């Protein structure tokens, strides 16, 4: 999995301004996705990041990069907990929720839209999308915002600018490990 792919899809998470990011990796005969994930974890763990393959098919792997300390904080939100519990999550701890998310991705016919909570999206927006993905949308960017459109637009702009800066820094020779910041 290339640094460019990760930077394009995960810069706000690497920069410590977003809880998590998802991206797909195309699988070929030569791909050992589990080895690549282990190596990436070795490289990013000291920066407070974790990498997990959420789903794998013959053609692709869905990779989740996240900050466990951010996820723990996000899951303390009562609205986030209510959404997760209503979707069958135990909510004992964020790690067990990730395990349950993997199970939902394997078993459910429809995509588990609560995944937005694992990415740091506002619970009100995740709830709005789950209830009616087309009704009440105030703006779109990294997600569909159903509440606080100005705050969402500002966040979208920050994420876009962060990605532009990270892409440029990578082109100038900064590695993924150098770009990932340490958070508390």
Whole-number average pLDDT of the chain: 93
Question: In this structure, what token pair is assigned to residue 141?
Answer: 């960017």
pLDDT confidence bin for 107, thresholds 50/70/90: confident
Q: What's residue 183's pLDDT?
A: 81
Kindly indicate the confidence band of residue 110, based on its pLDDT and cuts at 50, 70 and 90: confident
Return the domain boundaries, the chain.
3-169
| DSSP 8-class letter at 131 | H
Q: Report the pLDDT value the prediction gives residue 121, as an integer from 0 to 100.
A: 97
Q: Is the pLDDT of residue 184 over 80?
A: no
The per-residue pLDDT for range 3-50, each reduced to its tens digit, is 999 999 999 999 999 999 999 999 887 778 899 999 999 999 999 999
Among 50, 61, 49, 45, which residue's Cα sits nearest to residue 1? 61
């Amino acid at each position: 999995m290339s640094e460019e792919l990760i930077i394009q899809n995960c810069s706000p998470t690497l920069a410590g301004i977003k809880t998590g990011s998802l991206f797909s990796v195309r699988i070929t005969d030569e791909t050992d996705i589990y080895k690549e994930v282990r190596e990436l974890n070795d490289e990013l763990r000291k920066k407070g990041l974790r990498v997990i393959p959420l789903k794998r098919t013959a053609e692709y792997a869905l990779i989740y990069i996240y900050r466990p300390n951010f996820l723990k904080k996000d899951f303390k939100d009562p609205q986030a907990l209510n959404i997760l519990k209503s979707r069958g999550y135990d909510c004992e701890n964020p790690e067990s929720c990730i395990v349950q998310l993997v199970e939902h991705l394997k078993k459910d016919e429809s995509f588990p839209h609560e995944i937005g909570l694992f990415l740091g999206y506002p619970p009100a927006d995740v709830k709005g999308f789950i209830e009616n993905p087309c009704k009440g949308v105030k703006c779109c960017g990294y997600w569909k915002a159903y509440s606080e459109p100005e705050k969402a637009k500002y966040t979208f702009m920050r994420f876009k600018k962060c990605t532009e800066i990270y892409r440029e820094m990578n082109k100038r020779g900064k590695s993924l490990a150098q770009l990932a910041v340490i958070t508390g």
